[in-house]
Amino acid sequence: MSINPVSPQLLDAAIRLVRLLETPQDIPILAPLIVREILYRLLSGEHSARLRQIALVDKQLQAISKAINWLKWNYEKPFRIDTIAREACMSPSSLHHHFKSVTTMSPLQYQKQLRLQQARRLMLGQGMDAATASHYVGYESPSQFSREYSRLFGAPPLRDMARLKSGV
């Protein structure tokens, strides 16, 4: 962050925006114009490059957030990276790169974690057996589910459930 003197033009626009509080009927018409002017002044000023960089990062985070939300709502379905990239308005390679930088996982690894966490909740909270829970969250192979579950939680589903229920 940095602190710099405000240009007279930017200060004038900010004062005009605050003065609109004196005439509330003018706010709907004039406020958007003054806000646009303020943004213009900021983006054409000395620190415009840094502000654009912040805006770009924020835009990328919003796109990754869309991808994460898509995965959360569709974790049980198979997906293609193109589908999520379209949802996030990014190219597949850009999505993969930025997704990994935000979550430290690929989209496929993230989906796997969501599936395994949800299966664990179902087995613990609803008493589902491992085969039913694995099918419910989108696994086609119970043995693959068991292997991946063991890798994530350190024990196969049956043993993990016994451990969690005993409180050990």
| DSSP category for residue 138 | T
Q: CA nearest 88: which of 61, 102, 67, 59? A: 67
Q: What is the pLDDT of residue 54?
A: 66
Predicted confidence (pLDDT) per residue in 47-56, tens digit:
777 777 666 6
Tokens matching residue 69: 């939300």
- What is the number of residues in the chain? 168
Phi, psi of 128 (to 5 degrees): -70, 150
Q: What does 33-64 look like in DSSP terms, one character per residue?
A: HHHHHHHHHHHTSTTHHHHHHHHHHHHHHHHH
pLDDT at position 145 over 80: yes
Q: Helices marked H in 127-141 — which ranges? A: 130-136
pLDDT at position 146 over 80: yes
pLDDT at position 57 over 80: no
Q: What does 58-70 look like in DSSP terms, one character per residue?
A: HHHHHHHHHHHHH
Predicted confidence (pLDDT) per residue in 95-141, tens digit:
999 889 888 899 999 999 999 999 999 999 999 999 999 999 999 99
